[in-house]
Amino acid sequence: MEQNYRVFPYRWVILVATMLINVTIQMLWIAYSPITRATASFYGVSEMAVGFFAMSFMIAFIPLSIPASWLIDRYGYVPTVGAASVAVGILGLARGAAGTHFALAMVATCGLAAAQPFLLNSWTKIPAAWFPARERATAVGLITIASILGTAIGLVATPMLAASMDIAKVQLVYGAVASAAALIFVLAAREKPKLPPDESASRERAFMIEGLKHALKTPSFLRFLAIVFVGMGIFNGVTTWVEGIVRPRGIGSDQAGLLGAIMLVGGVFGAVLIPLFSDRASKRRPYIILGLAGAIPGLLGLALTPGFTLIAISAFVLGFFLIAVNPVGMQYAAEAARPTPEGTSNGLVTLAGQISVVIVYAMEALNNLTGTFTAALIVLAALLAASALLATRLKENGV
């Protein structure tokens, strides 16, 4: 029987709705990091306890990623991601309503962390259903940009908002934005088009358990998981401890948040340009290698350069190359793991990234030992170089 294909314009509506909810979860994740010291004072806790607001997202992801992927693959992303989006809106408001009660704010944060895997593990599922293969890395790149934008808003807007209102009210603002994004997603999302966009979208996918076994027996997929562990560890570590990284060089919380945003602006450019070239060339491996190698000078500059200007240039370079690896790599992983369902391969990749919370902890441990994050950043640059070498052993897949 002849199969008909059609690419529907409505794919962009669903993509925008997905991008919006990803903006909000990243805002909620990073909102305390640029005001760590002020938040510690507000709740009457240590700075390490404040760091746990961000780290709880990574910790919760470890046991919940595989179940979330199973639910997405079993029941579809519309009901699962829709329910998670509604939970994010409600819990975002609850965190603000907790006032000065640290324990209540942390409970709400843990709920947000539990909802996050449903959002992150659908990044390749939606493009696979609605977009032709030639557009998928670009689509994942746009979702990556949304995630970057949410992190940038959290880093820049939080110190500005905290200057005119208390920290609980800042969280209420973010909760209200998340609620609006959840409503848009619920109204806009559709599981799949009436006709698939191309032949690859109509292929039969192995179900969860079989797909999981297949992915974990694929050497290139496993190599990429190791690469993700290092790359996401660097990204999560820098964004979590950004204020502490630059504080010894005389840079305050406002400028620290701005540096984080500059890194993410670089990431926006990288996440647009590099996946676009990857799609046009129908290749993934060279662009993964480029991103990993190109990020090394930026990370070393962030560790060693004096003065705001040089640190800002380093942050931009780091973001441009490192963040661009994510969309290209996500699509590479989905292609390498076929016929594993996209939700499953996406979930394993994101799980590897969230396990990198150990890198975040290790950075703080080295900071306590040496009095600076410099040693930790140099070690991470060496790991990044090793990851670039490992990427040369990835097997290129047909796109």
pLDDT tens digits for 242-296? 878 888 887 876 787 788 888 888 988 998 889 889 888 888 999 999 999 999 9
What pLDDT does 376 receive? 93
Q: Which CATH number goes with the domain that contains 222?
A: 1.20.1250.20
In this prediction, what percent of the chain has a pLDDT beyond 70?
95
The upper half-sphere exposure of residue 236, i.e. CA atoms within 13 Å in the direction of its Cβ, equals 31
Question: How high is the mean pLDDT of the chain?
Answer: 87
The answer to whether residue 396 is domain-embedded is no
Are 322 and 235 in contact, with CB atoms under 8 Å apart?
A: yes
Amino acid identity of residue 80, one-letter, is T
Instruction: Render pLDDT for 197-244 as a digit per residue (tens, 0 to 9).
Output: 777 665 655 555 677 788 888 899 999 999 999 998 998 888 878 878
Rounded to whole angstroms, the Cα distance separating 163 from 170 reads 10
Domain that includes residue 16, residue range: 11-391
Count of domains for the chain: 1
Q: Cis (ω within 30 of 0) for the bond into 339?
A: yes
The answer to whether residue 398 is domain-embedded is no
Rounded to whole angstroms, the Cα distance separating 350 from 327 reads 12
What pLDDT does 106 receive? 95
What pLDDT does 205 receive? 56
Flag whether the pTM goes above 0.75: no
Are 324 and 273 in contact, with CB atoms under 8 Å apart?
A: yes
**Structure-model confidence comparison of residues 252 and 103, the more confident one:** 103
The answer to whether residue 209 is domain-embedded is yes
Rounded to whole angstroms, the Cα distance separating 134 from 220 reads 21
What pLDDT does 1 receive? 46
- Six-digit token pair at 283? 């290749």
Rounded to whole angstroms, the Cα distance separating 135 from 90 reads 34
C-alpha dist (Å) from residue 51 to 57, 91, 154 = 11, 19, 14
Q: Give Cα 305 to chain centroid, integer Å.
A: 27
The answer to whether residue 1 is domain-embedded is no
The answer to whether residue 4 is domain-embedded is no
The answer to whether residue 168 is domain-embedded is yes
Q: Which of 1-5, 318-322, 389-393 has the lowest mean pLDDT?
A: 1-5
The answer to whether residue 88 is domain-embedded is yes
The answer to whether residue 2 is domain-embedded is no
Rounded to whole angstroms, the Cα distance separating 327 from 84 reads 22
Q: Report which DSSP code applies to 166.
A: -
